[in-house]
Amino acid sequence: MVAWRLLIDRDHVGAGVAVILAVVLLVGLGFSVLLGLRGTSPGKAALGLRVVSDATGAPIGVPAALLRQLVLGISTLPTFGLGVATLAWTAVMDPGRQRRGWHDHLTHGIVVDVRPIPELVEETPSGPRHIVNLTAMRLVPAPQAAPVPTPSRPRTRTPQQPQQPPQPPPLPPAAPPAAPPARKLQIGEPLVAPPSTPPTAPPPLPPAAMGPPTAERTVIRTDGKALARWRVSFDSGESFLVEGLALVGRRPEPRPGEPVRHLVPLRSSDMSLSKTHAQFQVAADGVLVVMDRGSTNGSILLRQGVTRELAAGKPTTLVDGDRVRFGDRTMTVAREA
């Protein structure tokens, strides 16, 4: 409006058109730089959209953003909207089903929705937890074993001594007469007459009864499924199987008493990686879980072209093919059989 009132109305048409074009180019250049560095623009930020690289999940950079903006600009006014319609048609017919237009493929970019996903609160079952449900543990009782005869303790009463003929008065140095017969008694000797047939030895126990299960032990049957093995690979070249708690950062350090198996120090060119940025480990049910540890720049999950920022201190389950961006570093997740 200023160029129209001050220049064009005063017969300075060329100068007015030049001012309008300069303002349009300056605004387009500013939006391109913002899109290349931050992956967003005022309009995309209002809609919750972001343009990132399809390979790393990071912003596409200023050169690619300038090329993308140039293609969109040429497809608008000079073609009377036919170019924009053509780009929209290429996005609808995208073979990857990610709605990427020709300009997105040209700049290796993808438009993702970064609005927070509503989190579903899992309902807590009213019944007992599965891990303490005794009916699911298949208790196996131990077989009844034949009682093993044990020697009975002798009765406390003094056994009768056999009658002996009267003896003369004992001499002073003589030993007590009751000691020798008492030494001949056997522990557990029955006081009644033994049965006519000797007791037979107990039959040998079956192999199943000779194993570890006894009447005082409970056997729990567990399924023999092996837990999944997870491999993580970083864009800096590190790759390993996750066998415990892993910390990633510029110089990751565990907390006092924290059982850490893997320490993954990574270099950060722009210092966007915190000292102890995040952690990941295999949970008890075999899934891989990642958690941001309150990093400065946060962690971003990239799954099938859609990015989501991880909440600090809250674990997130990963699946095969996921990529997680810690600052300017990217980790790829793969599940191995």
Q: Which of these, 115, 138, 312, 318, lies nearest to 223 by C-alpha position?
A: 138
Q: Which of the residue ranges 7-11, 50-54, 175-179, 333-337 has the most confident prediction, judged by mean pLDDT?
A: 333-337
Q: How confident is the model at residue 209 (pLDDT cuts 50, 70, 90)?
A: very low
Question: According to the model, what pLDDT value does residue 276 have?
Answer: 94
CA 206 to chain centre: 45
* Cα gap 150→188, rounded to integer Å: 9
Question: According to the model, what pLDDT value does residue 201 have?
Answer: 56
Q: H-helix or E-strand containing 92? A: helix 82-92
- Label residue 100 left, alpha or beta by phi (over 0 means left) and psi (-120 to 50 means alpha): beta
Q: How confident is the model at residue 111 (pLDDT cuts 50, 70, 90)?
A: confident
In tens, the pLDDT along 9-68 reads 666 667 777 777 788 888 878 888 888 888 888 887 888 888 888 788 788 888 888 888
Question: According to the model, what pLDDT value does residue 275 have?
Answer: 93
Q: Flag whether pLDDT at 215 surpasses 50.
A: no
CA angle 96-101-106, nearest 5°?
Answer: 95
Token readout for 309 is: 């920022």
Question: According to the model, what pLDDT value does residue 213 have?
Answer: 47
**Strand ranges of the sheet holding 306-309, from the earlier edge strand across to the other edge:** 239-241, 229-234, 329-336, 323-326, 299-303, 306-309
* Cα gap 2→75, rounded to integer Å: 27
The phi, psi pair for 178, rounded to 5°, reads -80, -15
User: Of the given ranges (85-94, 184-193, 264-273, 289-298), which has the lowest mean pLDDT?
Assistant: 184-193
User: Of the given ranges (41-50, 136-145, 263-272, 290-299), which has the lowest mean pLDDT?
Assistant: 136-145
The model carries a pTM of 0.38
Instruction: Tell how strand 288-292 and strand 278-282 pair up.
Output: antiparallel
- What mean pLDDT is predicted for residues 140-158? 56
CA angle 106-112-118, nearest 5°?
Answer: 170
User: Of the given ranges (18-22, 141-145, 288-292), which has the lowest mean pLDDT?
Assistant: 141-145
Domains of the chain, start order: 2-113 (no CATH), 229-336 (2.60.200.20)
Bigger pLDDT: 322 vs 49? 322
Q: Please, what's the largest Cα pairwise distance for the chain?
A: 164
User: Of the given ranges (44-58, 122-136, 286-300), which has the lowest mean pLDDT?
Assistant: 122-136
Burial of 29 (0-12, 13-18, 19+ CB in 10 A): middle
Distances (CA, A) of 297 to 54, 127, 204, 209, 309: 20, 42, 71, 62, 10
Token readout for 275 is: 């000292």
- Residue type present at position 308: R
**Number of Cβ atoms within 10 Å of the Cβ of 310:** 20
Instruction: Tell how strand 239-241 and strand 246-249 pair up.
Output: unpaired
Q: H-helix or E-strand containing 233? A: strand 229-234
Q: How confident is the model at residue 97 (pLDDT cuts 50, 70, 90)?
A: confident
Q: H-helix or E-strand containing 50? A: strand 49-53
Give Cβ neighbours of residue 162 (< 8 Å, ≥ 6 apart): 181
Bigger pLDDT: 9 vs 258? 258
Question: According to the model, what pLDDT value does residue 303 have?
Answer: 93
Token readout for 7 is: 């220049």
- Given the structure tokens 């990093």, which residue do they identify? 295
Q: Flag whether pLDDT at 197 surpasses 70.
A: no
Burial of 33 (0-12, 13-18, 19+ CB in 10 A): middle
